[in-house]
Amino acid sequence: MIAVYPGSFDPITNGHIDIINRAAKKFDKVVVAILNNKDKNYLFSSQERLDIINEIFKSYDNIEVDSFDGLLVDYAKYIGADVVIRGLRAMTDFEYEMQMSMFNKKLMPELETMFLVTGDEFSFLSSSLVKEVASYGGDIKSFVPKVVVNRLKDKF
């Protein structure tokens, strides 16, 4: 079975990495799909996010990295994905995730969404908070991999 793990990953954090590693143990292939929404202002370009995530997972045979725009269901159909993986950090994520999964189900009934509960050590993490702390020179070493620490240093 092929799983797609979509997100902005601006930048990827240890919380995302935990979800990807766990999903890769359960599925034949996990495609990390980076959303490139033209209306959004990202800190890292689509190519930068692709390079960073490729660097992290380069030694994994069943993890692929790609970027997409448009609807997730169209992309899932295009790559032949059976399942969408999403991580749930807290109850606050639940409503939004529920709404998205229901919408996707209406658009593509055969595509299932499966939720993995984020490890509790990552439940407070978010990409925006990492960026904020990094922008003030705070220590983000325990929240993101080294490649992201270095890339954030270059940005700020």
In this structure, which amino acid lies at residue 48?
A: E
Bond prior to 6 in cis (omega within 30° of 0): no
Interface size with ligand COA, residues (CB under 6 A): 22
- State how far the Cα of 95 lies from the Cα of 105, in Å rounded to an integer: 15
Question: Which of these segments, 24-32, 41-49, 54-62, 99-107, binds ligand COA (CB under 6 A)?
Answer: 99-107
To ligand COA, the closest distance from the beta carbon of 6 in angstroms equals: 4
Catalytic residue among 29, 49, 86, 89: 89
Backbone φ, ψ for residue 67 (5° rounding): -125, 155
Site string for ligand COA, 27-66 (x = CB under 6 A): --------x-------------------------------
Catalytic residue among 29, 86, 127, 131: 127
Question: Is 153 marked active-site?
Answer: no
* Contact between residue 10 and residue 127 where contact means Cβ atoms under 8 Å apart: yes
